[in-house]
Structure 1
Amino acid sequence: MTNGDSIVSSGSPSYGMIKTETQGRVAVITLNRPKALNALCSELFHEINDALARFDGDEGIGAVVLTGSERAFAAGADIKEMKDTEFIDNYKNNFLGHWVEQIGQMRKPIIAAVNGYALGGGCELAMMCDIIYAGEKAVFGQPEINLGTIPGAGGTQRLTRAVGKSKAMEMILTGTVNLNASEAQAYGLVSAVFPPEKLVEETIKTAAKIASKGAVSVQMAKEAVNQAYELNLSSGLHFERRLFQATFGTKDQKEGMAAFSEKRKPNFVHK
């Protein structure tokens, strides 16, 4: 945690599989199924989605940190929960789809702080976030092929975009080739690597830095970067330009440029 600040409970509601805390304008969500290495299940994702929706609607929060334990961020999905399900039920109920909907709808940035194992759904959950920081002992992998299935929450899509086709194919098709923290950083999957005991503290520092900026511009910037994966270059440049122009209708743009001209720190009001 940063010097001079303390993590405090974010209050109601209470959860059984996650912990939620706040530090200034930063919210911290900690996966809390230690006996199962934070294995992902429907109840856990229900709690994650509920917390994310709450923080996304809280004007006092500017960024979110998602983390697990030093041993495991999330060591995959809970196989006991899904092993006996059938195709027709999974299809009708949009299995996995409803797990990840809220993360995809988040307007505020999410930073994953990954210590230990991030395998299968755990790796996919980390990749749903906007930035990934890793502890030195973090391990990323997609071992679903060993269970007779494939990644179903973005592994074949986000991992390929992050590390390239050849490496993604090797990891997904063998189910045994993983990336350690330094390899993940070299491939561009991870932005920075820290000692395990410093990881959450450093992640909160970055989240606080982001949360100190004008919230509208931060959300626009996140939207523009994400559209780079969806649009061709010409359309992406047009989209970016329109959002850039839109920032000139905000109070924070006026304050930011005035502060720069006056050589002082800006006082953003997030409007």
Structure 2
Amino acid sequence: MSGIIEKLTFYFQYPFVWYALIVGILIALCSSLLGVTLVLKRFSFIGDGLSHVAFGAMAIASVLNFSNNMLFVMPVTVICAVLLLRTGQSTKIKGDAAIAMISVGALAVGYLLMNVFSTGANISGDVCSSLFGSTSILTLTRTEVWLCVVVSAIVVILFVVFYHKIFAVTFDENFAKATGTKTDVYNLLIAVITAVIIVLAMNLVGSLLISALIIFPALSAMRLYKRFRAVIICSAILSVLCAFFGIIISILGGTPVGSTIVAVDIAAFFVTSIIGKILER
């Protein structure tokens, strides 16, 4: 035990560890806030679809040698979130089919472009890093950290300000529309915020694991609480704790950051499921 404490004390002397913790915790917090809404609206896999879109956009940015991929990936992902929302409301293409169509298409095109117009010697390594996360979370600059802090603050503020509208749209969209609530606007807000969070989270867990940050904390909180606000708060706490311990375990054990965080989320889900069963009895 003393050896672990000494190792942690040693690592916490370096700024990159603090940067990773700050960014990881903020991304986990933002993901958990919208996760409850997406799960209740049966739209959990929008994270999957948009993460694959972000992967495709990142491949295009790499091929075009953009100095800052974020300036290209973020707008493309947001636009696709809007298109996905509009397409999902179509009577011809339902929400799940639209997500699958965009998800698979973007993933295939991204991988194709990375192979045909390869700019690096290790294509497999680049693809693996993009899909499952990379060590870039441990090489963040102060500018990137501040960008994440600002964007995360905007996301949290928007969620708090429009909390009651999001609540209404989540539970009974038809009733909310009947009472004069502009449901299309708030659905659009949810989609855009989700897209922003996904782009931020790509360096943390990779495009294939982003949905775990959105889904697992929400499902874990639902095992313990039934009220919307209680679930939101519990989900945020669980997500932040899982991100913190996941990053610490990753640094100590030398394991992939994204996969470790998701593994901790899965463990938390099983623990909360057991506690929920006990409470029901």
Q: TM-score, normalised by structure 1?
A: 0.27
Which of the pair is proportionally richer in strand?
A: 1
TM-score (normalised: structure 2): 0.27
Q: Which has the higher contact order (CA 8 A, sep 6+)?
A: 2
